[in-house]
Amino acid sequence: MAATKLEYIWLDGYKPTQSLRSKTKIEKDFSGNLEDLPLWSFDGSSTEQAPGGASDCLLKPVFMVKDPQRKDAYLVMCEVLNADGTPHESNGRATIEDDDNDFWFGFEQEYFLWNPETSKPLGFPASGYPRPQGPYYCSVGAANAFGRDIVEEHLDACLEAGLNVEGINAEVAAGQWEFQIFAKGAKEAGDQIWIGRYLMERIGEKYGVSVNWHCKPLGALDWNGSGMHANFSNSTLRDAGSKEIFDKICEGFRPVVKEHIAVYGADNHLRLTGKHETASIHDFSYGVSDRGASIRIPVMVPAKGWRGYLEDRRPNSAADPYKVAARIIKTVKAAEAG
Ligand code: ADP
Ligand code: MN
Ligand code: MN
Ligand code: MN
Ligand code: MN
């Protein structure tokens, strides 16, 4: 009887930012099909998801990939359900009303590799600061790029798992990196990013390096924060053929700034200051090639006769991609209808 290791992964109940949790289930003679994975339960009183007296929450497998780091193993993304089978209030994935696969998402996940002993990014000396920003972005060499072994191992792991990772790069701050993942539909886009985050956390363990997903971990100092730019398109944008269509959809985001910021990650006011390639959290703007805008129209869109995608630059590194994608679908559809 073959034994398979199933890592059931879920999001806990911490507020305002949920963290990843997981535990291993051994199944004998697992078919390899998601549909054959059983529900499981966990102690919700240890994850801020249930009171001690009625602690059981349920895990419902919803997305599965090969676990690249273990023999005979899978990573299983789960939704959290209450004991009666209804979605738990912490279950953002279940709130996706319209999972339209005509919507494509490319998330650019930025993060800091973090020394848990000094509480500073890799590349920061134990006291004081490294040289100011400038040389680190897309850098090579031990003077500027810190933690590449971890980043490379993560890239290989994502590819082996079958995630649609599209690239990686060193970012503007020392110790800051990015990976990009592309997927169709809000649920799958979220599943892939969460599994990508999970692999990063677990690989970091091997190196004694943690991952800081906070959007402004170095505070108000002159260091970039971390975003999770949401690139998105639907058939309308991909086939538009006119500037008016892009303008109309961008304008659709203007009256719902609050609703978007509400799901674009905690503490985003610390990051969206109007400096460091961001727009102010209070403003709404869009423009071709404008990295200081809320929404950037990539330069190849007009070059291709107004066909392509948009980049909402406001979501931050700790945002829940399920909620970000769902909100974008809602706003674009309303703009199209209006
Ligand atoms: P940046 O110049 O902002 O750093 P990146 O190259 O890091 O851009 O990321 C661009 C992202 O846009 C990629 O993740 C890619 O998947 C995504 N993307 C490209 N075309 C589309 C499209 N038509 N719809 C949605 N996302 C797209
Ligand atoms: Mn136990
Ligand atoms: Mn990028
Ligand atoms: Mn970036
Ligand atoms: Mn970007």
Task: Give pLDDT, residue 1.
Answer: 59
ipTM of this complex: 0.98
Distance 14 CA to ligand 5 centre (A): 28
Ligand 1, atom nearest to 291 Cα: 3
Ligand 1 neighbours (beta carbon < 6 A): 104-106, 108, 166, 180, 182, 229, 231-233, 238, 308-309, 311
Calculate how far, in angstroms, residue 157's C-alpha sits from the geometric centre of ligand 2: 29
How many whole angstroms from 81 Cα to the centroid of ligand 5?
A: 34
Q: How far is Cα 330 from Cα 193, in angstroms, rounded to an integer?
A: 20
In ligand 1, the atom with minimum distance to the C-alpha of 313 is 3
Residue nearest to atom 15 of ligand 1 (CA): 106
pLDDT score of 201: 98
Please give the domain boundaries of the chain with CATH numbers for all domains: 3-91 (3.10.20.70), 104-337 (3.30.590.10)
Walk along the chain (338 residues) and give the pLDDT tens digit of each residue: 589 999 999 999 999 999 999 999 999 999 999 999 999 999 999 999 999 889 999 999 999 999 999 999 999 999 999 999 999 999 999 999 999 999 999 999 999 999 999 999 999 998 999 999 999 999 999 999 999 999 999 999 999 999 999 999 999 999 999 999 999 999 999 999 999 999 999 999 999 999 999 999 998 888 999 999 999 999 999 999 999 999 999 999 999 999 999 999 999 999 999 988 899 998 999 999 999 999 999 999 999 999 999 999 999 999 999 999 999 999 999 999 98
Distance of CA 115 from the midpoint of ligand 2 (Å):
31
Entry pTM:
0.98
